[in-house]
Amino acid sequence: MSGAFEVIRHIRQAYPESLAEQEARVADIFSGKRPACIILTEHPPLYTIGTSGSENDILSREIDGETIAVFPSGRGGEVTYHGPGQLVCYVLADLRHDQDLHKHVWRLEEMMIRTLADFDIESARSQRGIGVWVDDKKNSVNKIAAVGVRCRKWITFHGIALNINPNLRHFSGIIPCGMRDAPVTSIQAEACAASREDVEAHLLPHAEALFSGD
């Protein structure tokens, strides 16, 4: 993002409403009516299917007595989960001045890596795929944040979702990101009791450093 960006917060937001908000904002950023922004939100339990995913990656819609909704998504990637206890960060950035989507994804990952470091959680990128991963010390890595991005006329939307304290069993209903052997983790599972408010307080300065003032 070039220059300042707006921060928009929702306590919880239905997924179709979130998509509508992003679509409208992308149009406004492209036309110059409104600035780039980061939307911090949470969704009710749902599975989203990216442009590389399919219904075959959904194993069950009933987990722990809950019915989990399924929505198609225009973002890149395969199938992922969103739900309570997860901080979803939609970064709507104007890349027309710097048309590098790989750099944008790197910044999304870096924002989470730096935020997690503030809570003494060591995380990193992995050859297994985009996103942010935590070494489980057993010759494996667990995903703690998933990335899915879409770009329209060099305006980005969608973003990255960080697991703070979601019901990790909900991930058992899908093949996350197309990998059957890619377990997930969360800040809470890594023995840290941070709240969403705590995480946001650390995340926003990192977002500003990475996404504004290019």
pLDDT tens, position by position, 52-110: 888 888 899 999 888 999 998 888 888 899 999 999 999 999 999 999 999 999 999 99
For 28-56, how does the pLDDT look when each residue is reduced to its tens digit (9 = 90+)?
999 999 999 999 999 999 999 988 888 88
Distance between start and end Cα atoms, the chain: 7
Q: Residue 41 falls within a domain, yes or no? A: yes
For 147-193, how does the pLDDT look when each residue is reduced to its tens digit (9 = 90+)?
999 999 999 999 999 999 999 999 989 886 656 666 899 999 999 99
Measured distance CA(25)–CA(209) in Å, rounded: 22
Q: Residue 97 falls within a domain, yes or no? A: yes
For 86-95, how does the pLDDT look when each residue is reduced to its tens digit (9 = 90+)?
999 999 999 9
Instruction: Given the residues 37, 89, 151, 177, select the one marked as catalytic.
Output: 177
Q: What is the CATH number of the domain that holds 52?
A: 3.30.930.10
Task: Write down the pTM of the prediction.
Answer: 0.93
Q: Residue 1 falls within a domain, yes or no? A: no
Burial class (CB in 10 A: 0-12, 13-18, 19+), 69: middle
Domain of residue 180: give its range: 6-211
192 classed as catalytic: no
Nearest alpha-carbon partner for 87 in 204, 200, 8: 200
Q: Is the pLDDT of residue 139 over 70?
A: no
- Number of domains the chain is built from: 1
Q: Residue 202 falls within a domain, yes or no? A: yes
